[in-house]
């Protein structure tokens, strides 16, 4: 994992000093609310419904056990002893004091962390695949490119006051686990027939009020040009993006308005002036960055480790279920990646206590080279676990509450903090998640339903990614009451699709029954081996709609 | 009376922005873009003057006259409107402008270093600005990416 050099330390510490000064000036009345707003947002600080909220950056989801322990310590001393993993691989504190935020940032800097640009109209944290570097379907490890992008975008002098926020995701695998087609810019790593690295650059994707699938603006960009090309792309957006209406200010609106050809041509034209300039990546700089992401010292696999694992799984059903859902194949023979589930029934999806953060650190140290990854599904991954240690890890994870064997199933929901915390929300989302977890607590039923993404957002800003859920639930406000619109058929993968709304919204009490009805249509109609999404794509929206509203009326 | 930050010093602002008809002073004036393009009014040899443009004005029209312009001022209508940052980069990079670039309008202290890095040399700041504003030009001693400087 990337280690800070003196320049990184210097910049992060100067950023803390800068924000300390800004906070002091704000508290002394020398900065107006309006002026302080972008400054605090670009340091991750929101003013929320009940208290400020601080969003801490976890660059492309990577965390060390040392960082986890510091985060645990911070939640204990500055907050109420818990934190929340977000859908963009970041971590949020819900109850910090505004006056204490500079101190929190200073403590984060001690462990090479910050909250720079985790909010505001600037380039946000770069996200990626939680299985980067270990996935069997990997084209190339995206992490060195993510870190190069993190550095390029951090404190970028030209792009701190964009028309709107700007999110970049990098995907280096054949499958897409980074939802790169739903980002302002999606970078897809591909190889030429000779095996050279190239980037396909997609632009104009996003969720929010106007969900759009990104379009290809540049194929097969040579790696040395990544930063200069994005400089040009952002410059076109910064100059021409809508600044009058914040709901039309994302790059997706510009790309749609111009059409992708015109947009791509404008970027290409601008790029001619920055191409081969000082932001061109030199081969030695790329190699030096790759050297930060070398393989850990894997132990050679015992030849019979897989057979032994299978034998252990056959004697214990609960273990075999966990193996099936919560572990993932690995490039290295004798290893697996393991998802620690943060979705036990009764807890808000993605929430962890200070003690749990320490337990994760402990597990990381003992089972996975001291590193973990935060996922956009709001879980935590131990990427490098020896097959012969899976059973003891499972037992410890179970005791700590991380072994709910439901990863990738209906109850492994993505869920935003919703009306319980967020001042933007129209409705609560956490109680909806809980009602679904309670309703669908039969593990055999969940397994029978198979891979199923259910995503919940408390408002149309779509932090819970409801548009790309196979089942998406959106909280809406109807005359001061909280209602829920249900949509189906979304996908965040390379077969990207936006979910379609079933019809009129439901009350909170009706949500679980409605989901049960949708699932009945699926189980009644599915062909052998067909997933919910495949069945929906074959039979369409109508049968689902019919069943759901027949019951209601 | 606004002040000016020039060469990392806070000083009195002797400049005035004229409108489309106003008679011109001898020097230290900023012309609206249309007036400049229409008449190319210049003071006596070597005396300072410039043109003032908005973030959304096309630079193409200005292109042919850049060699005659010792100063271009870019107006920020609101401090959160960051187009001027790119306008400066375009003038410095794409259009190869080497004269003085000045940031005017609604800018504030915490933006000065980024403005400077995008190619601005001088900054029109409010009367209330104190010497402490100059500290913000040195918020960061390093950078991750190349810009105009």
Of the partner residues A121, A160, A274, the one whose CB lies closest to the CB of residue B93: A274
A205 class by beta-carbon count within 10 Å (0-12 exposed, 13-18 middle, 19+ buried): buried
Contacts of A15 in chain B (CB under 8 A): 140
Contacts of A152 in chain B (CB under 8 A): 144-145
CA A279, A282, A286, A288 torsion-angle sign: negative
Q: Which of residues 35-74 of B touch A (CB under 8 A)?
A: 55
Q: pTM of the prediction? A: 0.95
Task: Choose among B16, B123, B12: nearest CA to B75.
Answer: B123
* Location of structure tokens 């975008």: A153
Element housing A227 (H / E)? helix A226-240
Q: Give how far A246 is from chain B: nearest CA, Å.
A: 12
Q: Do A161 and B117 touch (CB under 8 A)?
A: no
End-to-end CA distance of chain A, in Å?
56
What's residue B2's pLDDT?
82
Report the SS3 class of residue B52: strand
Report the SS3 class of residue A34: helix
Rounded Cα distance between A193 and A545, Å, is 46
Element housing A544 (H / E)? helix A542-552
Task: Choose among B23, B15, B57, B14: nearest CA to B37.
Answer: B57
| pLDDT tens string A493-543 | 999 999 999 999 999 999 999 999 999 999 999 999 999 999 999 999 999
> Does residue B133 belong to the interface with chain A, where contact is any CB pair within 8 Å?
no
Mutation for B interface: A37, A40, A42, A239, most B CBs within 10 A: A239
> Does residue B86 belong to the interface with chain A, where contact is any CB pair within 8 Å?
yes
Q: Give how far A273 is from chain B: nearest CA, Å.
A: 6
What's residue A551's pLDDT?
54
Mutation for A interface: B101, B123, B145, B147, most A CBs within 10 A: B145
> Does residue B147 belong to the interface with chain A, where contact is any CB pair within 8 Å?
yes
Contacts of A161 in chain B (CB under 8 A): 79-82, 85, 111
Contacts of A155 in chain B (CB under 8 A): 114, 140, 143-144
Q: What are phi and psi of A198, to 5 degrees?
A: -140, 160
| pLDDT tens string A373-384 | 999 999 999 999
| Helix pair A226-240, A143-153: axis angle to 10 deg | 50
List chain A residues with pLDDT less than 70: 551-553
Of the partner residues B87, B142, B147, the one whose CB lies closest to the CB of residue A157: B147
| Helix pair A305-315, A390-400: axis angle to 10 deg | 40
Searching chain A, which residue's CA lies closest to the CA of residue B145? Answer: A152
What's residue A553's pLDDT?
53
Rounded Cα distance between A299 and A296, Å, is 9
Per-residue pLDDT of chain B (149 residues; tens, 9 = 90+): 689 999 999 999 999 999 999 999 999 999 999 999 999 999 988 899 999 999 878 899 899 999 999 999 999 999 999 999 999 999 999 999 999 999 999 999 999 999 999 999 999 999 999 999 999 999 999 999 999 99
């Amino acid at each position: 994992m990337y280690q800070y050099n003196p320049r990184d330390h210097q910049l992060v510490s100067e950023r803390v000093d800068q924000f300390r000064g800004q906070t002091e000036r704000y508290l002394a009345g020398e900065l107006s609310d309006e002026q302080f707003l972008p400054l605090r947002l670009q340091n991750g600080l929101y003013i929320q419904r009940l208290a400020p909220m601080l969003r801490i950056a976890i660059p492309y989801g990577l965390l060390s056990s040392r960082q986890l322990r510091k985060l645990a310590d911070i939640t204990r001393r500055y907050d109420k002893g818990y934190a929340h993993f977000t859908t963009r691989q970041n971590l949020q504190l819900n109850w910090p004091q505004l006056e204490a935020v500079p101190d929190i940032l200073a403590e984060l800097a001690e462990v090479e962390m910050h909250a720079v640009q985790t909010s505001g109209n600037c380039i946000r944290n770069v996200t990626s695949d939680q299985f980067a570097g270990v996935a069997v379907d990997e084209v190339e490890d995206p992490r060195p490119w993510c870190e190069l992008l993190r550095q390029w975008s951090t404190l970028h002098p030209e792009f701190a006051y964009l028309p709107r926020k700007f999110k970049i995701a990098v995907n280096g695998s054949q499958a897409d686990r980074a939802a790169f087609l739903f980002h302002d810019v999606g970078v897809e790593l591909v190889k030429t027939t000779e095996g050279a690295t190239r980037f396909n650059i997609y632009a104009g994707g996003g969720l929010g009020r106007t969900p759009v699938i990104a379009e290809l603006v540049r194929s097969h960009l040579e790696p040395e040009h990544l930063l200069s090309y994005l400089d040009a792309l952002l410059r076109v957006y910064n100059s021409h993006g809508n600044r009058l209406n914040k709901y039309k200010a994302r790059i997706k609106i510009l790309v749609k308005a111009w059409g992708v050809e015109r947009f791509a041509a404008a970027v290409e034209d601008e790029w001619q002036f920055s191409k081969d300039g000082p932001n061109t990546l030199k081969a030695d700089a790329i190699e030096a960055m790759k050297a930060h992401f070398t393989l850990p010292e894997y132990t050679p696999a015992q030849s019979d480790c897989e057979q032994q694992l299978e034998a252990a799984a056959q004697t214990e059903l609960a273990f075999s279920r966990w193996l099936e859902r919560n572990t993932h194949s690995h490039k290295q023979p004798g290893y697996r990646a393991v998802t620690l589930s943060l979705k036990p029934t009764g807890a808000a999806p993605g929430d962890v206590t200070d003690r749990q953060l320490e337990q994760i650190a402990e597990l990381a140290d003992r089972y996975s080279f001291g590193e973990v990854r935060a996922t956009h599904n709001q879980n935590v991954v131990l990427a490098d676990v020896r097959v012969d240690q899976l059973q003891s890890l499972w037992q410890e994870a179970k005791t700590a509450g991380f072994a709910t064997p439901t990863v990738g199933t209906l109850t492994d929901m993505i869920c935003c903090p919703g009306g319980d915390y967020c001042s933007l929300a129209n409705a609560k989302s956490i109680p909806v998640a809980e009602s679904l977890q309670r309703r669908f607590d039969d593990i055999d039923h969940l397994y029978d339903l198979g891979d199923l993404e259910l995503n919940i957002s408390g408002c149309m800003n779509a932090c819970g990614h409801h548009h790309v859920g196979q089942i998406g639930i959106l909280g809406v406000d109807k005359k001061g009451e909280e209602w829920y619109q249900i949509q189906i058929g979304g996908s965040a993968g390379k077969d990207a699709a936006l979910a379609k709304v079933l019809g009129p919204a439901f009350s909170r009490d009706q949500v679980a029954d409605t989901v049960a009805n949708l699932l009945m249509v699926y189980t009644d109609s599915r062909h052998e081996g067909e997933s919910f999404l495949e069945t929906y794509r074959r039979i369409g929206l109508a049968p689902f709609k019919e069943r759901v509203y027949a019951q209601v009326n | 009376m606004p002040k000016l930050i020039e060469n990392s010093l806070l000083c009195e602002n002797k400049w005035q922005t004229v409108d489309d008809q106003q008679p011109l002073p001898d020097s230290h004036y900023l012309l609206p873009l249309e007036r400049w393009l229409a008449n190319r009014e210049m003071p006596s040899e070597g005396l300072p003057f410039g043109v003032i443009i908005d973030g959304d004005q096309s630079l193409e029209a200005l292109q042919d006259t850049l060699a005659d312009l010792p100063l271009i001022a870019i107006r920020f209508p609101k401090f959160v409107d960051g187009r001027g940052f790119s306008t400066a980069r375009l003038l410095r990079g794409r259009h190869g402008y080497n004269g003085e670039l000045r940031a005017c309008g609604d800018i504030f202290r915490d933006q000065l270093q980024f403005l400077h890095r995008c190619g601005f040399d001088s900054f029109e700041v409010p009367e209330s600005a104190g010497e402490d504003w100059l500290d913000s030009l040195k918020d960061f001693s390093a950078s991750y990416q190349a810009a105009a400087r």
